[in-house]
Amino acid sequence: MATETSASTEAPAASGGLPQFDFQWWPGQIAWVLVIFVVLLAFMRLFAVPKLGGTIAAREAKISGDVAQARALKEEADAQAEAAAAERAQARAAAQKLAGDARKAARAGIDQALAVEEARLAEAAATADATINAARDRAMANVAGIARDTASAIVAKLTGKAASAAELAQAKG
């Protein structure tokens, strides 16, 4: 028995080579390849390809929907940007008008304060002129007396005797 077992195990090894290259097995291998190919083709045709096609179609639909949504959002953003620009321009115009009005009001206040100050300065100048004129008149009134005293002192110094009031009055004329 031991020899039969060893003989049966040695027989395939003795034939040498790979069984797939042995022509006696080719018809069975070709039949199985065809069966497996047909089953795999049927599976792909009935299940895998339609599912894959549905996935691709769903993906394309999602992409086109997302692109449409992005375009709509861009248009909305552009409209909001235009509205914001218009509001900004309107606010700028209102601010410029307000600044112009404030400048006019400030100018009017400055002009009014300037007119009041000029009137006060004119009054002060008139008062100062009156004071100066009064001082000049008083000084001019004293000039004659000072001239008389100076002439009397000069005459006394030069002649050695004092001049009389009649002589001084005569010298004035």
DSSP string computed for the chain: -HHHHHHHHHHHHHH-S-GGG-GGGHHHHHHHHHHHHHHHHHHIIIIIHHHHHHHHHHHHHHHHHHHHHHHHHHHHHHHHHHHHHHHHHHHHHHHHHHHHHHHHHHHHHHHHHHHHHHHHHHHHHHHHHHHHHHHHHHHHHHHHHHHHHHHHHHHHHHHSSPPPHHHHHHHH-
Per-residue model confidence (pLDDT) at position 42: 95
Per-residue model confidence (pLDDT) at position 1: 47
Per-residue model confidence (pLDDT) at position 104: 94
Q: What stretches in the chain show pLDDT beneath 50?
A: 1, 6-11, 13-14
Average model confidence (pLDDT) across the chain: 85
Does this model's pTM top 0.75? no
pLDDT tens, residue by residue, 36-70: 999 999 999 999 888 888 888 899 999 999 999 99
